[in-house]
Structure formats: C-alpha cells, structure tokens
Amino acid sequence: MGADIPGIVRLKCSVKKYAWGTVGREESSVARLYAKNNGQEIDVDEPYAEFWMGTHESGPSYVVEANGGFSNGRKLKCCDSVGLKEWIQQNPSVLGDKVLQRWGPDLPFLLKVLSVAKALSIQAHPDKSLAAILHKRKPDVYKDANHKPEMALAITHFEALCGFVDLQELKSVVQNVPEIVEVVGTAAADQVSNMTKDVGEKKMKDILQSLFTKLMSVSKGVISEVLLKLISRLNRKCEAGELTSKEELVLRLEKQYPGDVGVIAAFLLNYVRLNPAEALYIDANEPHAYIHGECVECMATSDNVVRAGLTPKNRDVQTLCSMLTYKQGFPEIHYGIPSSNPYTVKYVPPFDEFEVDRCILPRETQTVFPALPGPSVFVVVSGEGAFLTFSKEVFVVIEGDVLFAPANTEIAVQTASASGLNLFRAGINSRFFE
C-alpha cells in the first residue's frame, strides 16, 4: 500500500444489553468480548446480549487505532476516535470499486456475537420493498429501509425455532395439541387434517396462513386460559416421562414468557438444534426465534425486526402474518466449505452482502487470508497472536480485538507461542465478485 492509502484499523464496538442476554460473567462471550474490546470491567448484574461490529447507527463501531489509516488527511492515533461509517466515507477506497458501486460508501454487512440466555421474540425481517414502507410509516420502530437476511453460526450448542413444520408434522399438531384447535376452531383444524400434498402450494400456504393468523391474533385472555390447560396437560405427561422434545421446549418457553401466544405458536415452527460450527441461513420474511446458546451472527446492515410473540417489546402481528412466505419444511443446516488452509472454514450464504470465515489456529502456527476485492471485519474470540500485512503493518491481537481490513489487503495471522487463536472474519460474499 502507498503511504496515503488506509490500512488495517482497530475498532471499538458496541454492546446491546437486551433482557434475553446472558447476565455478565466470564462464561458470556458477549460480556467478555465487549469488556476487553472497550477496556471495561464486566458488570455482573447486567445482561449482555449482542456485541455489534459495523456501521449501523443503532450500534456503531469506532476507529480507535490506524497504523496506516487517515481521517480528513490526518493520521489517527490510539487516542483518536471516529465512527467507522464516517471513516469509510472519508476513505471510500477501502471498500473496493465494485462494493462502492453497489452499496455506496458504507459497509453492507453487520457482524455480531450473541449470548442468548432466554428466548428471543418470534420474528421475521422484511424484504427491501416492505422495509422501505415500514421505515417510512414508523421510523422509530423500523430503523432503516434495508432488508436483513442473516446467518447464525453456532459457537456453543445453539437452539432456535425456524420456519414452519412440514405438512405431516402440522397434521400431527392439530391432532395432538387440542389447545390449538380450541383457539383456531375445528373448521381451520379440519382444513389442515384434510390437506394432501396434491392440494397445490398456494392453497396449502393459504390454509397455513389462515391458521397462524388466527392463532397469533387471539386475545390475551383466551391465550391465558388455553395455556393453563396446555401446561397442566404437559406437566402430567412430564410426570409420566412422555414429553417430546418440542413439548419440553414449550414448558421452558412458558416459564420465560407466561401467558404469551408465542408459547403455543412454537408447535407450528421447526425446533432446530445446532452443534458448534453449524450454521443456519434465514432469508427475509421467514419466522424464527433464537432460544439458547451463543453464536456469531452476520446480516445485511439493518435493524428491522417485526415481532409477534415471546416478547415484551412492540408487536406487529398483522404485518408479521401478512409478510411471511409460509414455506414449510425443516431448514437446511450448513457445515461450511473447507478453505485453502487447514484451519479455516468458509460459510457462503445465498446473500450478496456477506460471508463468514471461522478460523481456529493452534499454538505456534500461521495462516494467510488472501487479498480480497472487498472489505473484511475480524473478531478475535479467544487466544492471542498478530496480524501482519504486505505493507509491514503489525497488529498484536488478543481476545476481544476487532479489526477492519480494507479491500485488496493480504493478511498473515500467526499465534503467540503460548496460545492458539480463534477468530471469525466477515466479508462480502465471494460469489458477488465472480
């Protein structure tokens, strides 16, 4: 790189202390990473939910050290701080020409680490056209006009609800969960029971939409009564040792959100359990709810969430029920693609904005991240080592460090002699450049 071209920069990043997060302690990745990234002590009484790395105004990152970076023609020092979005606008070349032409002078993806102790809301993210409408209508609720396809990559064992169950399981639900029939009515339940695969995709989606909408729209009083019956029945089954895994989950959800319609709605959604290093891709307009565990999450730069259950936050049931695709079937689990080196696995979702690399380096080893035509964000989740560039920049890194690497930057990563290094890299989807 030339002397006036920005190089790698170190970032100070934001945290979200949502109520569903893990209360601060060393076992919480979000608490630990944020505290070390910001040089703070962990508050043992606060929930640490999400560690944000990107440019979204709801949780922006800041450039705090730049060996080769400049702001308004002035070289940054460790004590300086400028928003990453502002820094990119002042140095648009860091994005690469093709990224700049497609998305303008901003980072098109947002990287997060999540520590989930309590279920998140049943939710979906709008596509671009709906996001623009919602943002214009309620900018205080829907923060931007962008879509939010996302990927969850498990760090620990990770639980989620995602997408609607297939026809066979849906029929089993209306046959074996009488409380749902009590809410939606026998006519709606009979429609499901009488469905066959040759009824046609549109008809099947219409029936599922009608069932789901009736369930989610019922009054709190009715749901409270029905849930009392459901929980009483499931507790009897529990005593007999006859609970299914979904029924066990429903009992857990009811303890977290008593009287919430999302508890019974869980029967209609797939219960997904990821092992570490397994990933789930979630497109726009697909229902989901993270339940428990830790993950790295990457998405298009957006904070739009339409909620309808398992939450004390604002609900928009009508919008959620009308926007969903009503696709059925268990979601595909992704295991990543081996990289050119033995330490890195790449996850390439069907979204242009992002991909993620998972890299685990044993002690006293080194690997290279080749120069790419778009920017990258690295987060070190454990260990210590160093980043070295072709222009002789050297960044010593430890757990909690987050670095932004401009387009066309080759980076060698090496571990410290006494430690391995575990990190994740987010960047533009490699298929975008093909």
Q: Where are the domains of the chain?
A: 9-118+336-433, 132-334
pTM: 0.92
Percent pLDDT > 70 in the chain is: 95
- 307 as an active site residue: the answer is yes
What is the C-alpha to C-alpha distance for residues 284 and 128, in angstroms, rounded to an integer?
9
pLDDT at 68: 42
Question: pLDDT tens digits, residue range 330-351?
Answer: 999 999 999 888 999 999 999 9
| Whether the predicted pLDDT of 78 surpasses 50 | no
pLDDT of 81 > 90? The answer is no
pLDDT in tens, 272-289: 999 999 999 999 999 999
pLDDT confidence tier of residue 66, bands split at 50, 70 and 90 = low
Strands 122-124 and 74-75, bridge-based pairing: unpaired
pLDDT at 197: 77
pLDDT at 356: 98
pLDDT tens digits, one per residue of 83-142: 999 999 999 999 999 999 999 999 999 999 999 999 999 999 999 899 999 999 999 888
Yes or no: say if 367 and 358 are a contact pair by the CB < 8 Å rule: no
Task: Using the predicted structure, report yes or no on whether residue 5 has a pLDDT greater than 90.
Answer: no
Mean pLDDT value of segment 244-255: 97
DSSP 96-136: -HHHHHHH-SS-SEEEEEEEESSPPPEEE---HHHHHHHHH
Lowest mean pLDDT among 24-28, 48-52, 293-297, 314-318: 24-28
Alpha-carbon span 344 to 222, nearest angstrom: 51
* Residue 158 CB-half CA count within 13 A: 27
Annotated catalytic residue, options 32, 102, 252, 307 = 307
Orientation angle between helical segments 220-239 and 245-256, nearest 10 degrees: 130
In CATH terms, is domain 9-118+336-433 a member of 3.30.70.1290? no
Amino acid at 199: V
**b/e for 198-210, b at 16 or more Cβ within 10 A?**
eeeeeebbebbbb
Give percent of the chain above pLDDT 90: 81
pLDDT of residue 4: 53
DSSP one-letter code for 331: P
Q: Residue by residue, what is the 3-state secondary structure of 342-386?
A: CCEEEECCCCCCCEEEEEEECCCCEEEECCCCCCEEEEEEEEEEE
Classify domain 132-334 at the CATH topology level: Phosphomannose Isomerase; domain 2 (1.10.441)
* Whole-number pLDDT of residue 392: 80
pLDDT of residue 3: 40
Dihedral Cα 423, 428, 431, 434, nearest 10 deg? -120
Region of residue 51 (left: phi > 0; alpha: psi -120 to 50; beta: else): beta
Most confident among 58-67, 187-196, 293-302 (mean pLDDT):
293-302
**What value does the mean pLDDT of the chain take?**
91
